[in-house]
Amino acid sequence: MPVYKAPLRDMKFLLNDVFDYPKHYTSLASGENATPDIVDAILAECARFCEEQLSPLYQSGDEEGCILKDGQVLTPKGYKEAYNQYRMGGWQGLSAPEEYGGQGLPASMGLLKQEMMGTANWSFSMYPGLSMGAMNTIFLHGTDNQKHTYLPAMTEGRWAGTMCLTEPQCGTDLGQVKTKAEPRGDGSYKVTGTKIFISSGDHDLTENIVHIVLARLPDAPKGTKGISLFIVPKFLPDADGGVGERNGVSCGNLEKKMGINASATCVLNFDDATGYLIGPENEGLECMFTFMNTARIGTAIQGVGPAELSYQWALEYAKERRSMRALSGKKDPDHVADSLMHHADVRRMLLTQKAIAEGGRAMLYDAARLADHMVEGHTAGDTEKAAKYDDKLGFLTPILKGFLTELGNEAASLGMQVFGGHGYIREHGMEQIARDTRIATLYEGTTGIQALDLLGRKVLLTTKGGAVRGFTARIANFARKHLTNGRLRPFALELLKLTAQWNLLTMRIMLAARKDRDLVSSASYDFLMYSGYVTMAYMWARQAAVAADRLDKGGDESEAFYKAKLATAEFYYERLLPRAQAHATSMLSPTRSLMQTDSDDMAFTG
């Protein structure tokens, strides 16, 4: 069974050596308390919690799943106890405002916590994760009264929260939302409708659950401009900050899923439930999406965490399992066969996992600094600053969410592959990682939606290619600095070629799309994946640069660590990055072969 060990060495390498978080934190008001010592202590404590409390529940939670009993969802054995530990550790308030009982640390600290928790036990991590989304929404759009009613209990982890968007007829296309909210005349609303796929929609971890619900006011305009946002708590709050009357929201069904079985995915029925408007009327979608970038980056973690977990466990197996002899001659002559580690193709699989996990982690930590500034803008009420960093983050978000979750699935699948037939057997847990990870490209916007957001909105519509120009300038700037270093020159040269190509591809799509709008959609997936491979190449070069520098200086006790970094960077450039060129070719293909066949002529069965 996969046992999680927090990769603290790699995390600190990225935080301290590659991205200089200590300096970054000095630029933040919320960073005042995030001194290196404190950060180290928090990471160590969080690692211990994840390794000791969450990891052991990973497999049992999957086997047992959640149960709907007498209208109440029960989480698997041990989850409630683990959640109590989480709550008592103050983890939910880590990066929440001090005003409501949080510790006010930078948002990126929350991401580090999420990464560790999500790697140890993704399903568990979804309960506090969804709460965080609801907290953010209330913090930003709630009235003072709403904030004081909900945020302290949620920050404490005593209450949880959800985000209720999807309905049976619509997921992506929220303009089709039908749930109704009618004013009662007392300032509250009567909310009626059915929401599906509500993660953490009901559970037994907290005494209350605060639902943030998309619904339509009477006579609201059709489509996306007629949707408002409501707070609908499971229990109505009483005057003392405790729970009062049971509200008209109930879990009608628990979905049976491929994986994340310990995470309750609920059908929620709102039946004359009492709700409170949050944010302006008919601007619910905008409010809901204020923190979309951070939510999506939260999901991008699922591309990195499971890759790490699967890698750790596949590596252990590959060291122990013996099969055949290495092609270059016997390596373990005293044993009946050589360890899997001596087979180049097995190493190809393991290094692919490692490159994805560590390259993806770098992408997350790079972006998290922007999130820190954005959140700080919001906290300080500096909407201009918030918007500026949200824009920067907005370009990276679909790349991180779309690309990393696709690669996370590949990594999880490779972990099974290293195990051979044993990878398919449940007891080894490798197939669970694959099943759990499979949701990542589907929820919080499918890969297709991320691709369209990236190419259609962020690159073409909003910035006319400027987003790519800006980001590639940053990459090229880095590359030019390292052209003269022997170890780094191959990476730098490749990056310079890629930055030029990325801009050229963007330009060519922009021109072609003027004549054929469908091309934006047909090119989007390949453009997303291409962007991802180049971004990850940049991140591997950044890591290689630090490793090369340390090795050149010599005398570092981490020599083996840095050498492994360089080898993995080389591996990435040799064996994964070439895929970018296949995407470059595909994205420029005309739409003809895609669009010309009538729906009815797509299959000829019978």
Q: Contacts with a second copy in 366-425 (CB under 8 A)?
A: 409, 413, 416-417, 420-421, 423-425
SS3 232: strand
Of the residues 17, 167, 431, 453, which one makes contact with a second copy according to CB under 8 A: 431
Does residue 486 bind a second copy (CB under 8 A)? no
Binding of residue 512 to a second copy (CB under 8 A): no
Q: For the beta carbon of residue 517, count every other beta carbon within 10 angstroms.
A: 11
Count, residues near a second copy per rule CB under 8 A: 114
Give the type of residue at 446: T
Smallest distance, a second copy to C-beta of residue 110, A? 22
Minimum separation from the CB atom of position 603 to a second copy (A):
6
331 belongs to the binding site for a second copy (CB under 8 A): no
Query: Which of 8, 38, 68, 510 lies at the binding interface for a second copy (CB under 8 A)?
Result: 8
Q: Please tell me the distance from the alpha carbon of residue 488 to that of residue 543, in angstroms, as a whole number.
A: 10
Closer Cβ to a second copy, 343 or 378, answer by number: 343
Q: Which stretch binds a second copy (CB under 8 A): 187-195, 241-249, 428-436, 502-510?
A: 428-436
- CA-CA distance, 173 to 192, in Å (whole number)? 20
**Is 122 one of the binding residues for a second copy (CB under 8 A)?**
no
Asked if 462 is part of the footprint of a second copy (rule: CB under 8 A), the reply reads no
- Give the count of beta carbons closer than 10 Å to the beta carbon of residue 255: 14
Residues 6+ apart with CB under 8 A from 188: 274, 275, 276
Report if residue 594 touches a second copy, rule: CB under 8 A: yes
Tell me: does residue 464 bind a second copy (CB under 8 A).
Answer: no
Q: Are 276 and 378 in contact (CB under 8 A)?
A: no
**182 catalytic per annotation:** no
Considering the complex, state which of residue 30 and residue 522 has its C-beta at the smaller distance from a second copy.
522
437 binds a second copy (CB under 8 A): no
Q: Give dist(CA 248, CA 322) in Å, integer.
A: 59
User: Nearest distance from residue 389's CB to a second copy, in Å?
Assistant: 28
394/382 Cα distance (integer angstroms): 18
In the complex, least distance from residue 347 CB atom to a second copy, rounded to whole angstroms: 5
Q: Any idea how long the chain is?
A: 606
311 in contact with a second copy (CB under 8 A): yes
Q: Output the smallest distance, CB 372 to a second copy, in A.
A: 26
Q: Minimal distance in Å, beta carbon 47 to a second copy?
A: 8
Cβ-based nearer residue to a second copy, 324 or 473? 324
CB 408 within 8 A of CB 302: yes
> Does position 319 bind a second copy by CB under 8 A?
yes
The least distance separating a second copy from the CB of residue 503, rounded to whole angstroms, comes to 20
Residues 76, 58: Cα–Cα separation, whole Å: 10
Sorted by sequence, the CB contacts under 8 Å of residue 542 that are 6+ apart come out as: 18, 362, 366, 478
276 belongs to the binding site for a second copy (CB under 8 A)? no
Which of 376, 444, 557, 570 does the annotation list as catalytic? 444
- Pick the piece of the chain touching a second copy (CB under 8 A) from 83-91, 234-242, 277-285, 591-599: 591-599
Q: Is 264 in the site for a second copy (CB under 8 A)?
A: no
Contact in structure between 474 and 466 (CB atoms under 8 Å): no
**Binding residue for a second copy (CB under 8 A) from 302, 312, 506, 535?**
312
**Half-sphere exposure at residue 340, Cβ-oriented, CA atoms within 13 angstroms:** 18
- Using CB under 8 A as the binding rule, the residues of this chain from 542 to 571 that contact a second copy are 560-561, 563-564, 567-568, 570-571
Which residues make Cβ contacts (< 8 Å) with residue 474, sequence separation at least 6?
Answer: none
Where do we find the tokens 């780094």? 488
| DSSP calls for 54-113 | IGGGHHHHHHH--EEETTEEEPPTTHHHHHHHHHHTTGGGTTS-GGGT-----HHHHHHH
Closest by alpha carbon to 249, among 201, 302, 303, 182? 201
**Beta partners for residue 190, in sequence order:** 182, 274
CB of 291 to a second copy, least distance (A): 20
Piece in contact with a second copy (CB under 8 A), picked from 1-9, 20-28, 243-251, 396-404? 1-9
Name the one range near a second copy by CB under 8 A: 29-37, 139-147, 370-378, 513-521: 513-521
Residues marked as catalytic: 444
